Amino acid sequence: MNYIENKVYFITGASGGIGKATAVTLLESGGKVFDFSRRRKLTDTVTHDNLRSFQGDVTSEADVAAGFAACVAVFGTVDVLVNNAGIGLLTTDLSETDLETYEKMVNVNMKGVFLCNREALRIMKPRQQGHIISVISMGGQRTNANAPVYCASKFGARGLSSGLADQAIRLGIKVTDVNPGPTDSDYWGDRKVPREKFLKTEDVARVIRFVLNQPPEVLIREINFDNIKFLAG
């Protein structure tokens, strides 16, 4: 059975990477996708009757509220929120990390998730149903000497999601953390990393589709996964 069809998916950061792969997968499965992205619009590269784009910043309370209002105006509701927008900046030497870098990661990776969760809940609570998925990454499960601030922001997002899950379950709203290991995307830029051992964005999209394509009574609270080649070293 297809539990994805005809539902409305609000996806942050859907113009590229994991977000774009997820949006395309859900559109192919019969879903309606609302792309909320800051720099680019998914509709610039993907054409579909059930796709709309909105340019906004997840760290802006006004932008987030306007984005959700626009989604409801177009599609009538929000059935699923996929918190995908995120940022990672190298902070190898914490003593040399400036406050701007710290605040940028915390604002996007934590504040952005908070703002989107809050707006989604305001739509989902009266209906006593919905699903909030946060793409947190394994950076919220294990620390990394080359990215202490990034990991801290992801641990924080995971804590927020865990607390929300305890509240939301009593309302019939599902909350799931999707934690992929390193994934090959534009995020890495020109860094010298073993991309051949990383997950593909399509791998993550398939996992998200699996989580969503479950019966209403089935909740996958958290799912962790890596490319086996990466784990093997």
* Active-site annotation, residues: 137, 150, 154
The 51-55 sheet, strands edge to edge: 51-55, 32-37, 8-12, 80-83, 130-135, 173-180, 222-225
DSSP letter (8 states) at residue 141 = T
Chain centroid to CA 8: 15
In the beta sheet, which residues pair with residue 33? 9, 51
Whole-angstrom Cα distance, residue 79 to residue 4? Answer: 10
The answer to whether 171 touches 120, Cβ cutoff 8 Å, is no
CB within 8 Å of 42: residues ≥ 6 apart: 14, 15, 19, 20, 23, 33, 35, 51, 53
CA angle 17, 179, 199 (to 5 degrees): 50
